[in-house]
Structure 1
């Protein structure tokens, strides 16, 4: 988890992840999108690869990168308790509770009326 958190701490690496979210890109295609040197982009890609967030595939002389979101799982699990649901989520939870309560009451009333009809 620490390696993933360290990898996404840099804004350039986060932007690379956003680019790769849409699909596979070559190292050159990634580098074209930044105003930093190709060696600097290469170092960022290496950090992302070492953290497991991207995979590299060598095709001829080109290296293609793809996003691997799997390593985010542990970080997301750790972060989730810190995120409070929005007001809407609370309202929707309350609505869901009310729907289940009404269904239960109707089911119980139907069961009671069946019992009265057979008694």
Structure 2
């Protein structure tokens, strides 16, 4: 199944570009939210709430962004599902990989 997928050099570049764009988008959102929260912080206790916020976002990012080729089609589907990526950004991937992405995306949208 997915462990048996073979990735060409061009597919690896396409996948990496899409992955990096999605990661940049996710991190930009977290940074904007962090800045807003930090600007609104008025009490010392709110600093520790910021630490907790960042720790949780880091955990979410580490969980979501998994670049192992054996997991990549699932990750790409989830990134599309969560709005960090558009399927069009995967143009050029082989149909076997796109089919896995689409199947998992359809399942996520149910």
TM (norm. structure 1) is: 0.25
Structure with greater proportional helix content: 2
Structure with greater proportional strand content: 1
Higher Cα radius of gyration: 1
The structure with higher relative contact order (CA 8 Å, sep 6+) is 2
TM (norm. structure 2) is: 0.26
